[in-house]
Each structure stands twice: as structure tokens, then as C-alpha cells.
Copies of this chain bind each other. A is one copy, B any other.
Amino acid sequence: MVFNINNFFDNRNRKSKIADFQDLDHLDGVSISTVSANLYDQKRDDLVLFYFRSGASHASVFTQSRIVSENIKWNKKISSKNLSALLINTRNANALTGSTGYNAIKELAKDLANKLSEKQNLDEEYSKEIKSNEILFASTGTIGEKFPLNKIKNVIPSLIKNIKYTQNKLIWMKAAMGIITTDTKPKLAMSECKIGSTIVKLYGIAKGSGMIYPNMATTLGFVFTDAKLSSTILQKILKESIKTTFNAISCDGDTSTNDMVSVFATNSARNPNIKDFNDPKLKNFRQSLNDVLLDLAKRVVGDGEGASKFISISCINAKTLDDAKNICFSIANSPLVKTAIAGEDPNWGRIVMAIGKSYAKIDEKKLSIKIGPFKILHKGNLFKDYDEKNVSEYMQNELLDITIDIGLGKKNFKAYTMDLTKKYIEINADYRS
């Protein structure tokens, strides 16, 4: 089955300009470098550096796992509102590696800060001392293995030498390729919008692709913008957007120790100062960030391990938002629902099962279920015109909608997931992530 991710974006009614990632080009204040630190057996870029020569304000959200990787612990301690770099490695999660793993980050940060300072000082205009605590780290890969500090340190010089101050779509593509693990496709998205009368850009990259459940699970997502916005404002916008984007996706209900989604603003654009999150001038930017995050999140699900179908699950008219979420994810995480969809079997009883096992309040007599445009259950009764043949046919599509109407309130939520196929088992039974 050819799975066309671009179909996700059909008929979308956007206020901001959204384009194919082919349009990603230069973004002022961001420098990119990728190298291979030989972390994999085969040769591939596995280390990606984003360098902000003039600094960047930033905001991040992290995994909600009770066990977090050493780099996440490091990041959580960063209090600087002005960052200099983000370093991303694959193959090793640096989780459950104890003080050795944490000290490795410390040493790496120091080394990277020193070498970046040296580079920075070559150019008087940008001359300044870069500090360890201006560097964020993202890691993804196997948990519990020793962090390959030396392999990474060995390539820092060439990583810094490779820094490009001007980007184009190929460099963005290399960065997106450099952070993936079992992903079958690089994930990029972009948007442009205005703050006041100033056009600003938002470029994003992400990786999946197993362990994707609400709070982002081995998802790394990074959005870069040239907008002039404080870290405080960015944090509020990210917090708002994450709920309906990266926290609305699930591949298999598993959650990683390493998730993070960050937004970096280089402040190069000369947009008006924004001091208030509710400033009307910020509205388009908020929408644009949401668009980019949702595009990336959908790309993560669409490329979820073994996915052959992309499923949008809407729960409407629930009593509480929690109920609506609970029902969406109970369906999205049900192996029986996901295998039925893989088999294109309109076995809607499994959807009922998943609704029933959620913690949400249900009144059977008010419950309605639609698959695509087809009513199946209507207020607790099989819909009079229900014809299984129509739904069977509909289920052969790659993009499927499931709508649950609880009929008990006014709260809605929408979650995104994919089907569960033999390919998922193949990838996860044989692959050491």
C-alpha cells in the first residue's frame, strides 16, 4: 500500500501560508551541521547540531514518564533564557545510565561550549563566550546502554567545521534525516505568518516512530522561527498547542523516557514587541505554530511503525474533556480496534469495547458511532440504514475517520493514530532501537 502523507493536508482551511517542506530555505539566526559519529553500524548522520549564533529564546515540553533520560534531566535545569545550541544524537537514549550518563552530558556541553566559543571568536561581530548551560541536548535510541561520549566528542571538531550559516532545503533534509531512527521518512513542516506587518517563518522537524503516546513518546520535535518573541511567551504558546498536536497522537500507547518538543526563536525578525500572550497580533503566530506542530505530529503517526492507515478519532459531546480524551485514546490504543482496521473489517463492536473500557461516563442509549460518513450506532440502536458493505468499502481508504458522539455534554477531543500490522511486530521484534 502506498501511503500518501500529503493527503492529510487536503482541504485544510488555513489562515497561515503552509507549504511543502520543499520550500524550507534560509531561516535567519539558525545554523545547522550534521555528521556521523559512527553510532550505527552502517554509515549515516547520527549527530545534528543547531547553532544559534546570536542566541535564541526557547520553550520546551518534556516526557511525562516517571523515568527520564539524563539529557532531559540536564535540559530541565537550564534556566538561561537565551540558548546557543541544540545537539541531537540518535542510537543511544542516555537513559538509566546514572551519574556516568549525566556527567557525559556535562563534559560534552563544556567541550561543545568551548569549541563554539572559539569559532564565535573568529568573527568579531559575534564574539562572545558560550556557556555550557546555553546548550540543550536531545537523545533517542536504546535505553540503558553506555552513552558513547568519546565517539561523539571525537567528531565535535568536524561538526563545528561543517556549520552552515545559510540553509537550504537540502540542509534541512539532512537534519531531518539525521535525527530519525526507525522512521521510514524524514519529517519536516513549515508555515509563514505575520506578526503585525512583519512576515515570520516557522520551520519544523520531527522524528517518530514507535512509542508514541500522548505525552510524546520517543518523539523529538523542533520548531525554529525567526520571530522576535520571549521565552515566556513561547512557553505559553507551546503549552497551548501541544495539547491538540503532539499530545493528541498515539501509535502504540507506549511512552518514552526521552521525549521533547522545543521551539526556538532567533529574534532576527523585526516584528513588534509582544508582551502579552493574548495580544491580537500574536493570533496568527499561535495558529501557525499549531499548524506546524500538527503537521509534524500527523507525519509521526502516518509513519508510525508498520502503519498502513491513518486514523482520526473524534469524540464529541462528552461530559468532560477528560472523558473525551480518555475515549479517544482508549480506541486509539486498542490492539483489537487497530488490527480490525488493518484488516479493513468494520467490526465496530471492538470500538464499543474500547469505549466501554475507558473510564468515561457512558449512557448506551445516547451513544452514537460513525465510521467515515456512515452512521452505525444511533443513540444506542443500530442505525436503520446501516449497510456493512458501505463501511467495508470505506475502510479500504488510507485515511479513516471514527466519530463517537457521547451525547452527555459539550466537550470534544480529536486524536490521531494508525493501524496495527504485522510490519509493526517485524520492526519491534527484530530491531534494537
Known interface pairs A66-B361, A339-B424, A420-B425; A349-B96 also in contact (CB < 8 Å): yes
Q: Is the CB of B67 within 8 A of A356?
A: yes
Task: Report yes or no: A255 in contact with B356, Cβ–Cβ below 8 A.
Answer: yes
Q: Are B381 and A143 neighbours in the complex by a CB distance under 8 Å?
A: no
- A256 contacts B by Cβ under 8 Å: yes
Considering the chains assembled together, what is the distance between the CA atoms of A352 and B353 in angstroms? 29
B-facing residues in A379-425 (Cβ within 8 Å): 380-382, 420-422, 424-425
| Copies of the polypeptide in the assembly | 2
Instruction: Tell me which of A42-50, A285-293, A329-337 binds B.
Output: A329-337
Cβ of A195 to closest chain B Cβ, rounded Å: 38
CB distance from A363 to the nearest CB of B (A): 9
Q: Which residue of B lies closest to A213 (CB)?
A: B357
A352 near B67 with CB under 8 A, answer: yes
The 8 Å CB contact of A335, one of B254, B358, B367, is: B254
- Cβ contact within 8 Å between A362 and B67: yes
Instruction: Choose among B257, B349, B376 the residue that contacts A95 (Cβ–Cβ < 8 A).
Output: B349
From residue 39 to 64 of chain A, which have CB atoms closer than 8 A to chain B? 63
Given A65-B357, A347-B432, A422-B422, 12 new contacts (CB under 8 A): A95-B349, A95-B352, A96-B380, A144-B348, A254-B350, A254-B354, A335-B335, A340-B429, A343-B429, A345-B429, A422-B425, A424-B425
21 A-B pairs whose Cβ atoms sit less than 8 Å apart in the complex? A66-B355, A66-B358, A66-B362, A67-B355, A98-B380, A98-B381, A211-B353, A252-B335, A253-B253, A254-B354, A254-B357, A255-B353, A256-B353, A257-B352, A257-B356, A335-B424, A339-B425, A343-B428, A421-B429, A422-B426, A424-B425
